[in-house]
Amino acid sequence: MPPKSRFTRLDAFTKTVDEARVRTTSGGIITIASLLIVLWLAWGEWADYRRIVIHPELIVDKGRSEKMEIHLNITFPNIPCELLTLDVMDVSGEQQVGVMHGVSKVRLAPQSEGGRVIDVKALDLHSDEDKATHLDPDYCGGCYGATPPPNAQKPGCCNTCDEVREAYASVSWAFGRGENVEQCEREHYGERLDSQRKEGCRIEGSLRVNKVVGNFHIAPGRSFSNGNMHVHDLNNYFDTPIPGGHLFNHQIHYLRFGPQLPEELSKKMSTKTSYWTNHHMNPLDDTEKITHDPAYNFMYFIKVVSTSYLPLGWENQDAHPGDNEVGLGAYGHLNDGSVETHQYSVTSHRRSLNGGDDSGEGHKEKVHARGGIPGVFFSYDISPMKVINREERSKTLTGFLTGLCAIIGGTLTVAAAVDRGLYEGGTRLKKMQSKNL
Amino acid sequence: MNGFAGHGLDEDAFGEKGNIVSAFDAFPKSKPQYVTRTSGGGKWTVAMLIASFLLISSEFLRWWRGHENHTFAVEKGVGHNLQINLDIVLAMHCNEIHINVQDAAGDRILAADMLKEDPTNWSQWVDKRGMHGLGKDSQGRIVTGEGYHEHEEGFGEEHVHDIIAAAGGGRKAKFSKTPRLRGGPAGGDSCRIYGSLEVNKVQGDFHITARGHGYQEWGAQHLDHNAFNFSHIISELSFGTFYPGLLNPLDRTVSTTPNHFHKFQYFLSVVPTVYTVDSSTYGSSTIFTNQYAVTEQSHIIGERAVPGIFFKYDIEPLLLSVEESRDGFLRFVVKVVNVFSGVLVAGHWGFTFTEWAITVLGKRRRQMSEGVLNGRAHESYD
């Protein structure tokens, strides 16, 4: 036996000499049971440690001069592409500057003929199509009193029907079907328009806009600004040979601001409160609106909330690539796997341009405004708050180890106490019984 | 009793020989003849028991109270309508006022068609308990109203289960009846406007103005300016489903003015809120309501401007979700076991340490007193 040191008294782990030790069946059962319990709890602790939770944070959006991408895909079954225009404006009604376009118009066959795709054409502000290349190089078409467009093929001339239309728009004249306009009759503008009357149109693509309050709308006719007014040339829309006229029925396949998060992430984020919320599910996706009135106006009031998603390996690196370096559609995906996107909440509203009340929906007290432009209007507002969804481990390694120790120690100590109690109770009983005997 | 005793006897008979199960017994037990009990150990045991009792009871209280979890999210789905519930007494006759909503969608909502208007007397409302100015009483002190001490101002401080209980668990709530006219001039001098109406869920302006002022109307008689009195009592102004039990910031507030041309403006920011309680005692229940923040502004205006009461509301895109939940019972048991055993082990260590300290100190003292032969040291040792 080693010499008794001073610390021997301090031994917290007093050991019973083997001769004085008792092993009992109840003790064995308790040992096994407690071991099982420890294993079970430790497994739970491990699962807890491995779990990745998504921790939302709310901050004030401090970004400056940011851009935002709008991805849209909307089908209009009753309006030909020729008639539709897409305008992006900021809150004051001025055209937004620096909008990057990547939107195309897809001509769809009439629904009675199956609605297949006829033709895809990029929606561009100034397309080079329908060039009058077969014309005499010295030809200079007149603009019929309107100012020639500044970007005409030949300065000071209106050589194509499009240029005449643009010239008309710039001075706020209605254009109509182009009767008596030489360029348009040559290009068969009116006939082409009439032949397309039954077609539908799908507008799909992306826009990159400044992250300021604004709106974009899809309305018939060429648009032009007249002082403070934003006006569309509605002549061709209302003056149509089709029975029932063109309708602004539309199906929104998707409308989102910024990139879409992968499916599994949205699943991971769904919690008990998900009944009320849409974790990165865009509320307008796959919605449809139907009207039977050509003069009808649909409005969507959208509130955009910036959201970023930071995965587990995310590190705070300022690797924001320059805005212009990234192609459309890639904006918001950063190299470290984090995603900068936007969620939105939306309120929809619809009214007839003739005013009237909402008695059809049981709200006869609602009196709609009169007038305006038929079309689909999206006005978006940017929230000052930003949501950060950060992936985190629910426990650190030390936290896990602490929990493990607590489980093992706690269970074993309590089991020891229970065992001791059983043993001592048993011996007392035995003593009493032997006395009684 | 007998069974246990029999078991004990069995163990005495076979246990010592060591069957397979007892071989696993990892807990050292000593035969009673080798165990000593000291008074020091007894004291430590009592102290340990008290300590563990205190810790466990505090742990239990914490578990029982549960915890509140505040999260936020962007509201789901395409919104259309928002319900406004209001109950306002205005010191003007019912036929002298116009109630309308104008919103960002361009709609004008003739709210008067949806709301009830009852003639009443101003004096029957102004003395009601709990009525107070916005955050202040008549002396300018901030009060929350007599008899409403269980509610703090707003319900930020309350527990979720209180809010859900106050909301009344989904019963169809109704506005109280207008009390019968007592005293005052015949036909009453005031108008109580109450009810619920649906507006578009967009930014809007709900306003009460005088007849013939502000809106162009056919055949509306011009109202005498001396009849204008936009003093008002707001008994209820809430958004969403009507829960009379929930206290909103503007509820039970009085605003008075002696002027005829006075403009009251309230700027409201509506925050959709979901309260959820998820526990065994309260059951799982959820209410969806809207809170709001309000700023008030009121001032005298010139005779050319439009007097009235204007509520300008806007809806926040972020939804607040407050969830009260309690850990599972098993988790609590594990915690209790941990606390108890922790105290047990710590107590054991403490006991061993004190025993050791006493012996070591005692030995040294004895050596010192023997070596230095000092009477004082001897005394102190005793």
pLDDT tens readout for residues B137-178? 444 444 444 334 344 444 445 677 777 777 765 556 677 777
% chain A with pLDDT above 90: 4
- Residue B42 and residue B89 share a domain: no
Q: Indicate the burial class of A243 (C-beta count within 10 angstroms; 0-12, 13-18, 19 or more).
A: exposed
Question: Which of A31, A283, A427 minimises the CB distance to B77?
Answer: A283
Alpha carbon distance B266, B306 (integer Å): 15
Alpha carbon distance B367, A301 (integer Å): 91
Q: What are phi and psi of A88, to 5 degrees?
A: -115, 125
- The residue of B4, B27, B76, B202 whose CB has the most chain A CBs within 10 angstroms, and thus the best one to mutate to test that interface, is B27
Q: Do A273 and B28 make contact, defined as CB atoms within 8 angstroms?
A: no
- Residue B338 and residue B320 share a domain: no
Q: Do A348 and B78 make contact, defined as CB atoms within 8 angstroms?
A: yes
Confidence band of B269 (pLDDT split at 50, 70, 90): very high
Q: Do B76 and A281 make contact, defined as CB atoms within 8 angstroms?
A: yes
Query: What ipTM does the predicted assembly reach?
Result: 0.71
Question: What is the token pair recorded at A348?
Answer: 């929809």
| Assigned domain for B297 exists | yes
Q: Which of residues 24-63 of B touch A (CB under 8 A)?
A: 24-32, 34
Q: How many CB atoms lie within 10 A of CB A266?
A: 16
Contact A389, A308 (CB under 8 A): yes
Residues near A44 by beta carbon (within 8 Å), at least 6 away in sequence: none
| Assigned domain for B16 exists | no
Note the pTM of the prediction, 2 decimals.
0.75
Confidence band of B266 (pLDDT split at 50, 70, 90): very high
- Residue B56 and residue B128 share a domain: no
Per the rule left: phi > 0, alpha: psi between -120 and 50, beta: everything else, B77 is left
- Residue B161 and residue B239 share a domain: yes
Which of B182-186, B234-238, B303-307, B343-347: highest mean pLDDT?
B234-238
- Residue B264 and residue B198 share a domain: yes
**Out of A10-24, A104-118, B294-308, B314-328, which region has the weakest mean confidence (pLDDT)?**
A10-24
Q: Do A273 and B321 make contact, defined as CB atoms within 8 angstroms?
A: yes
Contact A403, A385 (CB under 8 A): no
- Residue B358 and residue B308 share a domain: no
| pLDDT number for residue B73 | 81
- Residue B225 and residue B104 share a domain: yes
- Residue B319 and residue B246 share a domain: yes
| pLDDT number for residue A209 | 83
Indicate the residue type of B44.
W
Looking at the structure of chain B, the number of domains it has is: 2
Q: Which of residues 362-401 of A touch B (CB under 8 A)?
A: 363-369, 372, 381, 383, 385, 387
Average pLDDT of the residues of chain B: 76
Q: What are phi and psi of A82, to 5 degrees?
A: -55, -30
Q: Of all residues in chain B, what percent are helix, strand and coil, respectively (each to 5)?
A: 30, 30, 35
Instruction: Note the pLDDT tens digit of each residue in A363-389.
Output: 777 788 877 888 899 999 888 888 888
- Residue B236 and residue B124 share a domain: yes
Question: Which of A10, A31, A347 minimises the CB distance to B352?
Answer: A10
Tell which wins on pLDDT, A22 or B346.
B346
Domain interval for residue B250:
68-325
| Assigned domain for B11 exists | no
| Assigned domain for B263 exists | yes
Note whether B277 contacts A: Cβ–Cβ < 8 A: no
| pLDDT number for residue A176 | 66
- Residue B196 and residue B86 share a domain: yes
| Assigned domain for B269 exists | yes
Strands (E), A31-123: 52-60, 67-76, 84-90, 100-108, 117-122
Q: Do A28 and B21 make contact, defined as CB atoms within 8 angstroms?
A: yes
Last-in-domain residue among B325, B341, B361: B325
Reply yes or no on whether the pLDDT at B128 is more than 60.
no
User: Which among B193, B176, B294, B286 is positioned nearest to B241, based on CA atoms?
Assistant: B286
Contact B15, A25 (CB under 8 A): yes
| Assigned domain for B186 exists | yes
Reply yes or no on whether the pLDDT at B134 is more than 50.
no
Which of A297-306, B22-31, B250-259: highest mean pLDDT?
A297-306
Alpha carbon distance B303, B137 (integer Å): 30
Diameter of chain A measured on Cα atoms: 135
Contact A293, A245 (CB under 8 A): no
Reply yes or no on whether the pLDDT at A125 is more than 50.
no
| Assigned domain for B21 exists | no
Q: What is the DSSP letter of A13?
A: S
- Residue B356 and residue B252 share a domain: no
- Residue B275 and residue B126 share a domain: yes
Residue with tokens 């040559």: A186
Alpha carbon distance A242, B223 (integer Å): 52
| Assigned domain for B17 exists | no
Note whether B19 contacts A: Cβ–Cβ < 8 A: yes
Find the closest chain A residue to B314 by CA distance: A303
Q: Of all residues in chain A, what percent are helix, strand and coil, respectively (each to 5)?
A: 30, 30, 40
What distances in angstroms separate CA B171 from CA A433, B87, B164, B166, B197, one per listed residue? 65, 19, 12, 11, 18
Q: Do A24 and B344 make contact, defined as CB atoms within 8 angstroms?
A: no
